[in-house]
Amino acid sequence: MTRRSAKNPPPEKFDEKIIDVDVADEMQGSFLEYAYSVIYSRALPDARDGLKPVHRRILFQMDDMGLRPDRGHVKSARVVGEVMGKLHPHGDTAIYDALVRMAQSFSMRVPLVDGHGNFGSPDAGPAAMRYTECRLDSAALLMTDSIDEDVVDFGPNYDGQLREPSVLPAAFPNLLVNGTTGIAVGMATNMAPHNLGEVIAAARHLIKHPTATLDELMRFVPGPDLPTGGKIVGLEGIKDAYETGRGSFRIRATTRVENVTPRRKGIIVTELPYGVGPEKVIEKSSDLLRAKKLQGIADLIDLTDHEQGLRVVIEIKNGFNPDAVLENLYRLTPMEDSFGINNVALVDGQPRTLGLKTLLQVYVEHRIEVIRRRSEFRRRKAADRLHLVDGLLVAIIDIDEVIQLIRGSDDTAAARARLMEVFDLSEIQVNYILEMPLRRLTKFSRIELETEREDLLATIEELDTMLADEKRLRTAVADELGDVAKQFATPRRTVLLEAAGQPATTIQLEVSDDPCWVLLSSTGLLARTLDTSPLAAEGSRVKHDVIVSAVKASARSEVAVVTSAGQSVRLQMLDLPTLPATAAAPSLAGGAPLSEFIDLDRGESALGLASLETSAEGLALGTASGVVKRVAIDSPSNKDRWELIALKDGDEVVGFGALRSGDEELVFITSDAQLLHFPATSVRPQGRAAGGMAGVRLSAGSSAVFFGAVDPGTECSVVTVAGSSAALPGTDTGYLKVAPFSEFPAKGRGTGGVRCHRFLRGVDTLILAWAGHSPSIAAAATGVAIELPEPDGKRDGSGTPPAQPIAAVSTRVWS
C-alpha cells in the first residue's frame, strides 16, 4: 500500500482525448509537405535568377552587410552566422558549402563571391570557414542591382522579424551562365554552365525576335561553355537538351603531345572534364596500370599550380603511339566523361523541365518586369521631388513674405495653415519648407530650382514614355544586357566538336522550301501541312480543330497574322509544327497555340492568316464602327509587326478578306441584323497609315460584327445567330439561320443594308455572323465541329435553336 503525503500527492486526473488518425493519410500528408519544402526551399533554383534560396540569401545578406568588391574581405564564418541567424535557419555546413561553390572558378563560369584563402579544388574540399575570407565579386552586384527600388517582391523571413527577397533582379541570365545541380524529392536538376556573352546575345535576339526558332538561338548558344574548358564531343545530345530540357553530351580533356624529355614523348593535359580533378585521373590511371589494362605509360606527374593552372604530364614509353595511348585514356579514365543535362527549375513556384528558349523567355519576362517596376519607382521618386521643388519655387520668390508670415504665427500649426492658405501649397510642401533651416532656404537660387524642375519633368516624361511602350521596355532590357556583356563577357573556353577529332560546325535544320498550307483552328492552334492539296473539313471527322483560316505558303516563307488592333504580325513557317498532308480533314491535335509564336496585347485577338506574297489587290478590312479599307499586305523588311489601318479610339477590326481578283464583294453584317455588300472596286486602296472610309451606315447603338470578302462567282451562304445581349457570352445558344448569299441584293457603299435575321421576343442582337463560301461548318467553344443546316432560302427568317452555343463558323473546303 502506497502512503500519500504532501511530497507524494495522488496523481491528478485529466480528461483524456484520443484522436484516431489514419497512418496512411498522415504519412502521405507529411511526406508531401516535406517534398514541397525540399523542392521549393532547398534543392531547385528559380528560373528567373537561377538561385536556390540559400544562394539568394547569401548574396542578399552580403550586399546588406556592404561586402562589395571595393571593401575588405571578412571572415566567411561571419557571413555564415549572419545568413543562418537572419534568413536561413539550417546548418552552417550547408550555408558554407553554398558560399564556397559561388567562389570556385572551376565550378562557376562567372563566380559571384570573391574568396580569399583555400576554397578547395576539384579533388579537395575547402578550409574551414574560420580560416577563409570573402566578399562579393563584381558580377554579384548585377544580381542585386536596384533591389532597393521596389523591383522584386519581399516576404517575411523564417521568424517574421525581417524581410527577404523572393527573387533577385539578376541583370544577367545566371541560371544558364553558371548552371546548377540539386537533388530534390522525386526529381533532380543538373544544368550546364554557358558563356555569358553567348547567352546574352541569344537573349537579345529573342527580345527582338520573340518568335525565334531554336536553331536561330543555337547560332548564338551552340553549346555549354564549362569553367574548366575541355572539348564537347558530339552535339546531338545538346540539341535534344535545348529542345526538351533533357539530354547528355561527352566531355574530353584538352591535351597535346610534345617531347617531355629529349628521348621521350608525353601527353600534356591542360584541361579536364567539368568536375574532374587531376588526382582522380592519376589514381584511376595508376589502378589500370597495375591491373595491366592500360599500357604504354611510363609515369604520371601532376604539375598543377596556381600560376600555370592545370598541367598533368603523362610520359609515354618508347615504342608506343601516344595517340593510341590517348584513345585508351579517353576510353578507360575520367579524361572523357559524360554530363547529363536535366533542366529542372521553378517557374511560378512549380518545377518544370525547360528548354533553351523557355529558359530565356522566363528570364526576359523577369527582366522586363524588373525594368518596369524600377521605372515606376523612379517616376514616383521624381514626382515627389518635383512636388517639393514646386513648393520651394513658390517660397523663394516671396521669401520675405514667407519669413514674415512664419514669424507672425503663434505656433507651427498656425504657420502651416497660413502658408497653405496664402501660397496655395500642399501640406507636404509646407512641412518641407518649415523643417528646412532658413540658411538653406536662402541658398536656393531660382535658376537652380527651375533647372532641377526642368530635369525632373524631362525624367518623368521619359519614364512615362517607357512605361507606356512595351517595345521601349524590351529595348531597355536588351541595352542593359549589352552593357553587361561588354563588361563581363569572356572568350569561350570549351571547344565543340561534331565528332571526335573534327571541329564543330553550326547545326542547321535543313528544310526544303516545299509548298504547304498554314492552318489556324477555332481554338487558336497553328500548324502547317506538307503540301497544298485541297483541304476538306468534314464535321464527322474533325475533332477540336475546325479550320477557320488557311493560307498557301512554302516551308521557308512567311505569312501574316491579322489582329483586331489593325496590326499585322510576321509568322515564320519553319517555327510551326508540321502535320501530315491528307486530302481528308487534317487533325490539328499536333498543332501549337498561337501564343507561342506571337505576342498580342491585352484585348487584342487574332482574326486570321494572310499571305505576304506580293499582290496588287491586297486586303480589305472592316471595323466595328463600319469603316472599310483596302491596303497592300507588303511588309516592312525591318519589322515583325506593322500597322494596316489607323483605328480611332474604341474601334477595332472585326474581319478582313484577301482580295485575289479584285472583283470580290465586301460584306458587312451588323449587330442589328443588317447585311450590306458592295463591290471591292468601290473602295480605293490606301496606305498603311490611312484610316479607311465609310463602309456601312450604322443605326444608333449598333456595330459591325462581321466583315469579309466573298467571290460572287461561287456558291456562298450567310450564317447568323441571334440572341440576347443580356446573356453571358457562350451561354446563349440563340437562334441559328443559314441563308443563300444570293438572296441579299447589293447596295452602295455607305448605306444601311438589308435585314438578314428577324428577331423574336427576347432576342435583340446578333451574337455571331459569317458570310463565305459554301458548304460551311461551325465550331463550339471547345473546337468540336457542329453541322449546319442547309440554306433555307429565307432572307430574314428567325432561325432555330442549335444543339449547343456556336463559337465560330468557317468554310468546309479550302482550295
Q: Which of 313, 345, 107 is nearest to 226 (CA)?
A: 107
| DSSP symbol at 446 | H
Active-site choice (34, 36, 131, 158): 131
How far is CA 519 from its chain centroid?
Answer: 25
State the Cα–Cα distance between residues 470 and 180, nearest whole angstrom.
32
User: Could you give the 3-state DSSP secondary structure of residue 564?
Assistant: coil
Contacts 24+ apart (CB under 8 A), 257-266: 257/322, 257/323, 257/326, 260/313, 260/315, 261/315, 263/318, 264/298, 264/315, 264/316, 264/317, 264/318, 265/315, 265/316, 265/322, 266/313, 266/314, 266/315, 266/316, 266/322
CA dihedral 416, 422, 425, 431 (to 10 degrees): -20
State the Cα–Cα distance between residues 498 and 401, nearest whole angstrom.
83
Neighbours of 191 (CB within 10 A): 25
**Diameter over CA atoms, the chain:** 118
User: Could you give the 3-state DSSP secondary structure of residue 232?
Assistant: strand
State the Cα–Cα distance between residues 785 and 540, nearest whole angstrom.
8
The answer to whether 131 is a known catalytic residue is yes
Q: What angle do CA 219, 220, 222 make, to 5 degrees?
A: 65
Kindly give, in sequence order, each residue whose CB lies less than 8 Å from that of residue 191, ignoring residues fewer than 6 positions away: 175, 176, 179, 180, 181, 341, 342, 343, 345
Neighbours of 264 (CB within 10 A): 13
611-647 b/e (C-beta count within 10 Å ≥ 16 → b)? bbeebebbbbbbbbbbbbbbbbbebeeeebbbbbbbb
β-strand partners of 678: 666
Neighbours of 556 (CB within 10 A): 13
Which of the residues are catalytic?
Answer: 131
